[in-house]
């Protein structure tokens, strides 16, 4: 890559902009992806309306989890640690795209990094986190398993919140530098608007719509990476052969197939890969790929209203479990379980917001979330440990 378009140079440039979005693939192989890097800065226009998003837009932005209430008779009445709009997309004044072919498309000259940039890098100090009580978590898992045994639903994605209100020394730019260096992921994202920041190290694509094709790649199933190669291989094999994880993944794959069938030509929806195991910096993940051919004139709203929020972050059946998520979780998810991405010339590529920090620089609040799919076979202690495993990559960016 041209040294002038290294991602950390884009991150440094974002400091001077009111709005910024940097999307990174970090060199991961992706036969569907168009760009290694897609970034936009400044805002010609801003919209908070899903109805204003069309295929001829070139925009960056996000959908928050609570957009679900726009499509179903649902509510979000829990407290919000960091308030975000349901939708925020902006048309950038400046843009930079680096294609997978290596070609760079930009309408500005990016300033070079200061010569001492790397000399001044320091991990941010960890705030004083408040996390869910272990016993409260185990009690919730027991209640969810009882619901499943009683036939209320089949699978529920239960999440927990880590939060701090004393993050006065937190530097979101430095934090994202370390996050993307220590835990690179194929759908990483840095987004800034006004006093708000999202730092995302996501391995998961929510959807890619390109011309008449739709692709979704849900993740269900996680094992922590091991430093010992033999033990790491065993962890990967354990995930590949786990009946529980495979059952979770298959259930969500079926849910996604149903979601996209609402706007696809009958007979074109296919599962291209089922329960494939892929490795990332801190975890192994089980991923499936579902594709379909969209009907002519399918709109952005048709896709989002049928698919959002993603089944991998809700469970099945989707509407019923979202009602119970509101019951068992004591916080608004906000951007967590939402999506960040771009629209450009008939193409829409959106991630799943997991492995992410939300930060508000005005009130110095910071939040991080972890979770997992709960089925009848779930063991509370193991689910709690999985939350800690998923948090390990994020916590590595702090000094302590």
Instruction: List, in order, residues 6 or more apart from 118 with CB less than 8 Å away.
Output: none
220 is catalytic: yes
Catalytic residue among 34, 98, 220, 332: 220
Q: Which residues pair with 95 in a beta bridge?
A: 40
CA distance 189 to 201: 7
Residues paired with residue 360 on neighbouring β-strands, in sequence order: 196, 365
Q: Which of 204, 248, 344, 383 is catalytic?
A: 204
The C-alpha angle 378, 382, 388, rounded to 5 degrees, equals 130
Distant-in-sequence, close-in-space partners of 105: CB < 8 Å, separation ≥ 6: 95, 96, 97, 98, 99
Ramachandran angles phi, psi of 61, nearest 5°: 165, -160
Contact 220, 286 (CB under 8 A): yes
Integer angstrom CA distances of residue 228 from 72, 185, 231, 286: 47, 21, 5, 21
Give which of 24, 29, 169 is closest to 98, Cα–Cα: 24
- Where are any strands of DSSP class E within the chain? 19-24, 35-41, 45-47, 58-63, 87-91, 94-99, 104-106, 155-164, 187-193, 196-202, 205-210, 213-217, 219-224, 270-279, 283-293, 315-316, 339-344, 347-351, 356-360, 365-374
The whole-angstrom separation of Cα 243 and Cα 294 is 33
Bridge partner residues of 22 (DSSP): 39, 190
Q: What is the dihedral angle through the alpha carbons of 86, 55, 343, 73, rounded to the nearest 10 degrees?
A: 20
Find, among 366, 331, 21, the residue nearest to 168 by Cα: 366
Q: Token pair of 126, please?
A: 């960890």
Q: Are 91 and 41 in contact (CB under 8 A)?
A: no
Partnered with residue 60 across adjacent β-strands are 90, 342
Are the beta carbons of 364 and 127 closer than 8 angstroms?
no
Catalytic residues: 204, 220
């Amino acid at each position: 890559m041209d040294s002038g378009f290294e991602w950390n140079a884009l991150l440094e440039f974002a400091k001077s902009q009111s709005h910024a979005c940097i999307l990174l693939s970090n060199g991961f192989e992706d036969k569907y992806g168009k760009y290694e890097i897609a970034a936009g800065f400044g805002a010609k226009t801003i919209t908070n309306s899903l109805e204003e998003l069309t295929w001829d837009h070139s925009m960056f932005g996000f959908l928050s989890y609570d957009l679900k209430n726009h499509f179903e008779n649902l509510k979000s009445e829990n407290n919000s640690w960091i308030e975000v709009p349901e939708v925020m997309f902006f048309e950038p004044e400046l843009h930079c795209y680096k294609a997978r072919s290596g070609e760079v498309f930009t309408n500005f000259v990016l300033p070079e990094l200061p010569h001492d940039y790397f000399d001044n890098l320091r991990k941010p100090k960890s705030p004083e986190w408040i996390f869910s009580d272990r016993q409260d978590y185990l009690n919730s898992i027991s209640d969810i398993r009882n619901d499943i045994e009683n036939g209320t639903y089949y699978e529920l994605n239960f999440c927990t919140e880590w939060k701090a209100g004393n993050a006065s020394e937190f530097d979101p730019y430095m934090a994202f530098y370390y996050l993307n260096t220590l835990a690179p992921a194929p759908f990483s994202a840095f987004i800034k608007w006004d006093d708000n920041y999202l730092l995302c190290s996501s391995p998961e694509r929510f959807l890619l719509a390109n011309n008449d094709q739709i692709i979704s790649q849900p993740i269900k199933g996680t094992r922590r990476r091991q430093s010992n190669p033999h033990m790491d291989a065993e962890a990967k094999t354990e995930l590949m052969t786990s009946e529980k994880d495979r059952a979770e993944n298959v259930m969500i794959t079926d849910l996604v197939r149903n979601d996209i069938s609402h706007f696809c030509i009958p007979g074109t929806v296919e599962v291209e890969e089922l329960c494939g195991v892929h490795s990332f910096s801190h975890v192994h993940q089980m991923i499936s790929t579902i594709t379909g051919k969209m009907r002519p004139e399918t709109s952005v709203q048709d896709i989002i209203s049928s698919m959002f929020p993603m089944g991998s972050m809700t469970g099945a059946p989707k509407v019923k479990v979202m009602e119970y998520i509101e019951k068992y979780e004591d916080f608004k998810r906000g951007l967590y379980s939402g999506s960040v991405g771009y629209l450009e010339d008939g193409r829409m590529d959106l991630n799943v917001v997991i492995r992410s920090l939300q930060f508000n620089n005005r009130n110095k609040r910071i939040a991080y979330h972890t979770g997992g799919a709960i089925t009848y076979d779930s063991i509370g202690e193991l689910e709690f440990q999985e939350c800690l495993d998923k948090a390990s990559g994020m916590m590595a960016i702090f000094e302590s």
